[in-house]
A and B are shown apart, each in its own frame.
Chain A
Amino acid sequence: MSDMRQLYQEVILDHNRKPRNFGSILAANRHAEGHNPLCGDHIKLTMNVSDNKIEAIAFEGEGCAICKASASMMTGAVKGKLVQDAEIMVEEFRGMATGTLDPDGQDNHLGKLKVFVGVKDLPSRVKCAILPWHTLHAALNPALNPNQTGSSISTEGEADPVSDHA
């Protein structure tokens, strides 16, 4: 049980129960959707980016506690940030979740997001935690998408889907 308490910390359970920035931004100029077909996680991200800054961000969808809490905390963490700083956090979060970045031993900007460090020991759950970040990365890079306006991505079969888009 102690391992589980390590993963399902109160802050994660709280964000799962009461997700922040939940909903959608009507006049969004950036958006993306992410799916994890394995567990049915589905995230829709809408943002307003102006002067290279994330002015507003919201998410909606269905998912497990890890995915929802990750999305909720991510929206709080990147709101008001410059796009390039958000992209650094995408990389850092990805590194932490896959075990290539030690959030306590190496410099990073993850702050409260360090509560997700436990997922690195649960390969089947890494995708759940990363999905919102991967969706954020896609929304910030409309050039990755054929229609240049938004993106739909899937994490089927990939523990670390961002690597394909980075």
Chain B
Amino acid sequence: MNFDRFDIEKVRADFPILGLQVSGKPLVYLDNAASSQMPQAVIDRIVQYQTAEHSNIHRAVHYLSELATREYEAARVKVQHFLTAHESREIIFTRGTTEAINLVMHGYGRAFIGKGDEIILSGLEHHANIVPWQMLAQEKGAILRVIPMNDAGELLIDEFEALFNEKTKFLALTHVSNALGTVNPVKKMIAFAHRHGVPVLLDGAQAAPHQPVDVQDLDCDFYAFSGHKLCGPTGIGVLYGKAKLLEKMQPFQGGGDMILSVTFEKTTYNVIPSKFEAGTPPIMAAIALGAAIDYLNSIGLANIEAYEKQLLDYATGEVSALNGVRIIGTAAKKAAVLSFEIKGVHPHDVGTILNDDGIAIRTGHHCAQPVMQRFHVPATARASFAFYNTRREIDKLVEGIRKVQEMFS
């Protein structure tokens, strides 16, 4: 796969929003790490569902309920194959990555982590993979240990290994850093944790949309990702968990669908995955996520990864050639995220001025304040790429950065 063979114009034509004009200029959407855009096939699937398939699931015997149930469960199987999970019952639909991590904190953490126990996190984590564990640590009297990183934004593996002891009970780790783009050597880290009998949760929000993921090959115990960063809608995410762990976990929320029987004396919980899907789930969003996975598969995750790598390499070369611009996060292995700062200009001003040229980037702390503290910056500007971006768009970003520098010179 290379720039010549990847039919980028055909891909772009699948995304109606990419034809938008912003500030009178063609939209240049470089905020994909925050949320990706939706192809027509997924939009159509949503319309089709709401037009001719919608009802509540797992309840009634009528036509629509059976149809909606079948499509919802078919989406679960699509996710199973997408993650190369062993069984579809290991796939739990959540509202997003954040809820998936909170589910593990409540269902596993509260049951199996106690006073004095240690939870290992990395310095690269998004707040969603810090705060739930901090809440658990406060409740239980457990301790958080943090894997440090070097100036490139790579985790220090020797220090990681040195954190383990007999008190270590859990490792919560991001697969790919949202703020810097670092791809962590998770397979190696998981194997090390397992040698100490420590289960591992991977935050895959920034990995699943950009590279093939095989949870059996990684051997992670939990894997979480979000639909809206993967060309799907908001309000849907996934928690993969190994069946034997999910089975011994406590339910997260109580309600309908997660029970087998209820009396005022006792409730018997349903089997997995229903045990963790209390209440009516986001049925439409789950089915649309299935359609998004079909769409990504039609392009191929390996092709997406290779194309985005070329985009990132090109952008890294162009931006690092600019005087007065520092790229933050220079790991040897990176996903399509380019965080940078322009000397003397606050990232928010950068974002506003780029917006005037139709260029959408993220500015701020990226919900990763410890990463900002590590690099001694209040915030960064972040361009994040998807397989529908082009080199021409990166050229526009570079022109935009030059304009900012001119204005603030």
Chain B binds chain A: yes
Please tell me if B407 contacts chain A, counting CB pairs below 8 Å.
yes
Contact call B364/A8, Cβ cutoff below 8 A: no
Known pairs A3-B356, A125-B352; A63 contacts B364 (CB<8 A): no
10 contacts between A and B (CB under 8 A): A1-B356, A4-B352, A4-B407, A8-B353, A39-B378, A40-B365, A40-B372, A42-B378, A64-B348, A124-B352
Known pairs A8-B353, A63-B346, A65-B345; A40 contacts B378 (CB<8 A): yes
Contact call B346/A65, Cβ cutoff below 8 A: yes
Chain B interface (Cβ < 8 Å from any Cβ of A): 23, 345-349, 352-353, 356-357, 363-365, 372, 378-379, 403, 407-408
CB contact list, A26-75 vs B, under 8 A: 38-42, 62-66
How many residues from A make CB contacts under 8 Å with B?
21
Q: Given A65-B346, A65-B349, A66-B348, 9 more contacts at CB 8 Å?
A: A1-B356, A1-B357, A4-B356, A8-B353, A8-B407, A39-B363, A40-B364, A65-B345, A125-B352
Bound CA span A16–B264, Å:
65
Known pairs A3-B356, A8-B353; A65 contacts B408 (CB<8 A): yes
Interface residues as binary, A118-144 with B (CB distance below 8 Å gives 1, 0 otherwise):
000010110010000000000000000
Interface residues as binary, A9-34 with B (CB distance below 8 Å gives 1, 0 otherwise):
00001001000000000000000000
Known pairs A4-B407, A40-B364, A40-B378; A64 contacts B356 (CB<8 A): no
Chain B residue at minimum C-beta to C-beta distance from A63: B346
Contact call A40/B379, Cβ cutoff below 8 A: yes
Residues on A with beta carbons closer than 8 Å to the beta carbon of B23: 3
Chain A interface (Cβ < 8 Å from any Cβ of B): 1, 3-4, 7-8, 13, 16, 38-42, 62-66, 122, 124-125, 128
Residues on A with beta carbons closer than 8 Å to the beta carbon of B356: 1, 3-4
CB distance from B293 to the nearest CB of A (A): 33
7 tightest CB-CB pairs across the interface, nearest first? Answer: A40-B378, A64-B346, A64-B348, A39-B348, A40-B379, A4-B356, A65-B349
